[in-house]
A = this chain, B = another copy of it.
Amino acid sequence: MMIQGLIRRRFWPKPSSSPFQPLNGYRTQSPIPILGPDLPDIWDSRNASPLLLHRRRPSPATDVAGDSVAKVIDGKSIAEGLRSEIAEEVRKMRHSTGNVPGLAVIMVGKRRDSQSYVRFKTMACHEVGINSHLVQLPEDCVDDEVVCVVSKFNSDPSVHGILVQLPLPQCELSFLSYKQHMMEEKILSAISLEKDVDGFHPMNMGNLALMGREPLFIPCAAMACIELLLRSDVEIMGKRAVVIGRSKVVGLPTSLLLQRHHATVSIVHALTKNPEEITREADIVVSAAGVTNLVHSNWLKPRAVVIDVGTNPIEDPSCEYGYRLTGDVCYEEVLEVASAITPVPGGVGPVTIAMLLSNTLDSAKRAYGFN
């Protein structure tokens, strides 16, 4: 069954002989494949011998297709499958416990792209049977008002996930970046660890970084990248991976998750010199810089796998909302070089939303003790 497939792939239980409770007092399940297998770091002692160094040859790029044009990884259809598995789980939960998962979405201001994302999220909730609660606050509201709304949802047992749509509006012209950052930190810190479905809480990020530990939630876009790679049968272990961008939303958690899957990861950012020299070494390139047309075909090794997390709004009056989305990657050009690529739109985006639903479902399962 698809549902069981999802659960098996993403979770397996801890040995029942485990003599104590894991973090946070309740038994969590061990999300092994999405977190990567636990492997001890046993170095090949031959590494220490200079004689063998030159026998090795660079491994070929991860190959997912035999064609000369890249396979397009269809995030839309993968997300559709995930949503239908989640909907089935939600039905089972309602049948068994009388409850369904609940997600609270808090939006401050009226950023056009944020409005679209929030719309997609609440629509997806509706589709799978998750209750969504949308609170829209004015652009000029103070941080305490947002914290107050967060606190209300923290103590609402019908809400299992809380997210504050980022970025927050810029609050003042002076000392902008610092105040902006502190406001965001204060608001995100107010979200209960058990309802942090975006996975941005430092405790969740720390548990993602620490091999062998298990975060309650992993940021959705990072999960989406790995899910797309796994579902496309891309080998991650031992491969060279480059993550472009280091935001807490995508770059950081994706680099940590790729490490948990035992890729050799390099993190490229805006202060990196000659980023294209590093990306050209990679079997897997995840781009989350937020810069249109950043990644050209000459940034890539032939047959690399490219995951484009960029969602850059471009003015386009011919489109429904006056703009369209582009990724970070020069799609047409890269199609000729890569072995697989995610399109924008229709790649990482819909799977990220499916992961949000999945995180909310997992949270509700923990709350109701439903497996």
Contacts and interface: CB of A to CB of B under 8 A. Distances in A.
Interface in A17-75: 18-20, 22-23, 38-45, 47-48, 50, 53, 56-59
Contacts of A290: 43
B206 A48 contact: no
Nearest to A184: B212
Contacts of A237: 271
B259 A264 contact: no
A234 interface: no
Given A15-B178, A48-B294, A206-B209, A56 B274 contact: yes
B202 A207 contact: yes
A151 B211 CA distance: 25
Interface residues of A, number: 80
Contact of A182 (B20, B269, B271): B20
A256 interface: yes
A137 interface: no
Interface string A226-249: 000000000001101000011110
The interface centre, meaning the residue of A15, A59, A175, A210 with most chain B CB atoms within 10 A of its CB, is A210
A271 B39 contact: yes
Interface stretch (A120-128, A157-165, A275-283, A359-367): A275-283
A240 B38 CA distance: 28
B211 A202 contact: no
A272 B266 contact: no
A177 to B, nearest CB: 6
A298 interface: yes
A264 B267 contact: yes
A50 B210 contact: no
A186 interface: yes
A212 B205 CA distance: 14
B213 A277 contact: no
Interface in A254-301: 256, 259, 262, 264-278, 281, 289-294, 296, 298-299
Interface of A: 15, 18-20, 22-23, 38-45, 47-48, 50, 53, 56-59, 143, 175, 177-178, 181-182, 185-186, 189, 200-207, 209-213, 237-238, 240, 245-248, 252, 256, 259, 262, 264-278, 281, 289-294, 296, 298-299
29 contacts: A18-B182, A23-B189, A40-B177, A41-B246, A41-B271, A47-B275, A47-B291, A48-B293, A48-B294, A53-B276, A53-B296, A56-B273, A59-B274, A185-B212, A185-B213, A202-B213, A203-B206, A205-B206, A205-B209, A211-B252, A238-B273, A240-B278, A264-B266, A264-B272, A264-B275, A265-B266, A265-B267, A266-B278, A277-B281
